[in-house]
Structure formats: C-alpha cells, structure tokens
Amino acid sequence: NAGVTQTPKFQVLKTGQSMTLQCAQDMNHNSMYWYRQDPGMGLRLIYYSASEGTTDKGEVPNGYNVSRLNKREFSLRLESAAPSQTSVYFCASSLGGQDAYTFGSGTRLTVV
Amino acid sequence: QKEVEQDPGPLSVPEGAIVSLNCTYSNSAFQYFMWYRQYSRKGPELLMYTYSSGNKEDGRFTAQVDKSSKYISLFIRDSQPSDSATYLCAMSADPYSGAGSYQLTFGKGTKLSVIP
C-alpha cells in the first residue's frame, strides 16, 4: 500500500520555466490537497479538491494551477516559476474534510 | 489573531522526560483535533486524532482537548531520541455545519529534540 506518491522528489528550475508536480493516492480518498512548507511559515494550503471534479483555492493560490485528473490523481502546475516559489511541496489526501490527512513525502523545488 | 497558535520552540529535553506540547485556537467551531509528527525531510504523519473534548491515550502519547479554554495538548511520556521531530497540531470544524472551512487548519509546529 503506497499511500500518497509524489513525483519528482527534487527539482531545480530556472525563473520562467514551467513544471507540473504529480500526486497520486491509492486509498480511495475523496479529497486531495497541495501545500507548501517554508521555514517559519508552516504548512500553507495552495489548492484543494474536495471531490473528483472540483477544485478550490486555498491560502496561497497565486502562480499555481491544479488539475484533478481523476479520483486518484491531483497535479500542481507552475506556469512561470519564480524564486518565491522555492519551497517544499506536499500533497495530501483524506476521506473527507474532517478526516485525518495522509501526506506524501514531498517535492523539494528550487527556482534560480 | 491567528486561528491556531503554536510555540515554535525549539524544545530540548533529556531522554526519559515528560514532554508537553500545546496549541491554542480561536475558532469555537473546531471539533476535530489532530497531532502530526514530521521527521526532518519527511512528510507529516498522523499521530493522534480526537473528536471534541476529552483525553485520548496511545502508548506513550496522550492528547487532551479543552474546548472551554480553546486549548489542546500532546503529552509524551518517557521521551526517546526517536521522538525528535517537529510536532504540528491541526484542527477543523464540521464541514457540513456551515461554521467553518472544509480543510484542516495547522499550527506552525514545535521542533522537539530529545537528548540521549
């Protein structure tokens, strides 16, 4: 049982480049989330998908887009990367909104 | 005032000590309370999950919720070096009550070091 799988684990981008972070869960969870974690800032929600076919903005959505491809997969896209997007990105999933989250192992992104 | 406040530490204790980690919150609609543990360069993992007020015990870990004071605690007994990690509190309201947002609200985490 893999849980939540994120790819890639590490990435270095140049300013202005684009990339997509992939996330897949195998727990038949309904809800999926993308967070970024920065020193001193804690976990900040970028976007979430309460159920297949829906997506909503979180606390810090600017510069990002998401796609809930199906029940298992939720991707995060950076269209034009900026140094301020250097961070560790975590994908998470849960059965419902009040349920415990299962997190992936993270993607460490550096934008130079 | 932030919705969830958590002392960032760092907190350093000797092996075998009792550790107390705390969070305060302002949203009286919160009913689901969790503690996550995050090892360095890893994702958070669920440690404890409680609903409403009261205590819950799991091995060396005890979670307490005092809704009247808007205060939650995590106690670690007989702390071990393997407990060294960052501990995050998280909480949410009933998503169907209309009283809160759908997703969890996290504290910023307390970094704990247990010294052998």
Measured between CA atoms, the residue of chain B closest to residue A58 is B103
Contact A48 B106 (CB under 8 A): no
Q: Best residue in A29, A66, A101 to probe B by mutation, most B CBs within 10 Å?
A: A101
Two tokens at A32?
């999926």
Among residues A22, A26, A20, which one has the least CA distance to residue A2? A26
DSSP H stretches of helix in B42-88 = none
Strands A4-7 and A31-38: unpaired
Instruction: Report the 10 Å Cβ neighbour count for A66.
Output: 24
Residue type, A56: D
Contact A40 B108 (CB under 8 A): yes
Average pLDDT over chain B reads 91
Q: Is the separation of the CB atoms in A35 and A100 below 8 Å? A: no
Contact B95 A96 (CB under 8 A): yes
Two tokens at A41?
């800032």
Q: Reply yes or no on whether the pLDDT at A80 is more than 60.
A: yes
User: Could you list the mean pLDDT of each consecutive 10-residue stretch along chain B, which spans 116 residues?
Assistant: 84 97 93 95 95 91 95 97 97 70 85 97
Q: Is the separation of the CB atoms in B75 and B61 below 8 Å? A: yes
